[in-house]
Chain A
């Protein structure tokens, strides 16, 4: 019986079995940022340890950067302190830093792929749960805590348990107006927010075969929201075409050797899976969350579920969600007035996300509803520069969107971009947890960027296929 990519990567990177029964696993790439690394460097210093592989460690600043004006010192003294701490740590340990002044700064999960640092067959970790994003390249990539950041800095290794592998196949084709984000939310709705505990997810099937790298990243990004530590797609020509020519990608004859090795890491045709789940692409509708976990979602046209549709033990959480979100069971989600629209984040802040929105709003004279604050926040400076080069910034501004600097922005509001009071936000980000967007009573509806744009223009939750007249024949 053959092996999965997960098996192969895990075995190739296993250093040894630890006395506890866990495995000591080597990390190929360690990404760090300002939120979860300062305490790790302090611990390193306390123990008199140095960074074992600084050349495999890369840093950026993303969570705390303002997206309005980024001049130093940052207006928020705490944010400035975090940035200074990171600058000090990378300088002391000789770590490459994609600084805000260099044109390469951005969200850690956007710049890794962009720089060609993220490659197939690697193990990748970062003190951030959405590290699962990098699995789109056929890497085993996952988020870690600060004590583990310390471990990786000191030893380039982690103590890990071996995961089971669930293959999630999405067959057929998606219908027009249905995007990678809808696939991610549909999978979480199907399997639940803890359905992935103990599993690595292997995403496969025609829909993933046809997806671009950016679409694959969107789904892998949200693996963690389904409880899976990591998710991946086997590398293929789409992967290689994306990587070729990137700054840190192999070049010349090394490229050919790399492709051969990457091919060898793919799951074997007869690989063993612990579980297989199949979804039909045609069945997936545009999805909107209505609750306080990413699994609490509904197809856009359906009425909100009634508490009695859930098992008794789920009821308390369902009631809590309705109370917090101020929504009514059985009512349509369509037509719910929104206050804020946010397109960005490590889930949906890449060029193709904005390109798809521009495709629908350009030249149509569509305007953001007067009562809506709508933010366009590129995931990196490179994404921003590309959008400007194409003139999309003007398209967005003319339609009434604010066009901001790169950063995590209103995904988790560790920067000045925050909801106020009980504002309702249509968001392309990944979490609708209570208080997630900076106000303890702020409310988040997760949806695809095109759905966010439709909501911004309609001023309420809307079906993008109607707002933008997206034809419903197969694409």
Chain B
């Protein structure tokens, strides 16, 4: 299980500025007509990319400086909207593959979907995110190091504290974020709980 452990994520960053960036913007609904997730990476932020390109300023996902990005920087309430896992699936398949997100806050379901895929969503305060984004934009080649055990993201002299709720953090550190096995282990207890609920036997 060692390859499941998520202790540190190291790599260049890609900053995506803006509050309340919703799942429909991360992957527009017309690309959800699929039975596998494989092709989603190419369409991540597709409409936002087209719209910013039209204004002559490339979206970070189109900016060659950030093409090697492994860590996504975001502002507040990132990933709000749909429960579709297609959004993190698209992000993790974009470019070299995003392996972690650091933002001011995350929508709850998006956070859970990322966790289920082993993608840490770490929270930094507003000033911290501002500093991280500024550094990534000033030095796009900078390698950032997200250390989940220490609770920091750092590059050079910049060290920003981050938090992840204790449960998800321990799952990422232990490599137990893939929940199916964990849930299956409780098989007997599942049957007991089901038997205790009158509606499972249709109130017979």
Chain A positions near chain B (C-beta within 8 angstroms) = 12-16, 18-22, 24, 26, 28, 35-36, 38-39, 42, 47, 49, 52-53, 56, 63-64, 76, 78-79, 81-82, 85, 119, 121-122, 127-129, 131, 142-148, 150-151, 154-159, 161, 193-194, 197-198, 224, 227, 229, 250, 254-255, 257-258, 261, 293, 313-314, 316-317, 320, 412-414, 418, 431, 433-436, 438, 440-441
Contact = CB atoms under 8 A, between A and B. Distances in A.
Interface of B: 17-20, 22, 24-25, 28-30, 32-37, 46-48, 50-51, 76-77, 80-86, 88-89, 105, 107-109, 112-113, 116-117, 126, 165-168, 170-171, 174, 176, 179-180, 182-184, 186-187, 189-190, 192-194, 196-200, 202-204
Contact of B29 (A128, A197, A436): A436
A444 to B, nearest CB: 11
B193 A229 contact: no
A398 B203 CA distance: 48
B5 to A, nearest CB: 14
Contacts of B187: 155
B180 A154 contact: yes
Nearest to B182: A18
Nearest to A414: B29
Contact of A320 (B18, B30, B36, B86): B18
Given A16-B186, A154-B180, A440-B47, A127 B83 contact: yes
B199 A121 contact: yes
Contacts of B83: 36, 127-129, 131, 142-145, 224
A148 B112 CA distance: 9
Contacts of A161: 165, 167
Contacts, number: 226
B197 A156 contact: no
Nearest to A41: B35
Given A22-B167, A254-B203, A433-B81, A438 B105 contact: no
B85 A147 contact: yes
Nearest to A123: B197
B200 A317 contact: no
Given A144-B109, A145-B84, A79 B183 contact: no
Contacts of A49: 180, 184
A438 B24 contact: no
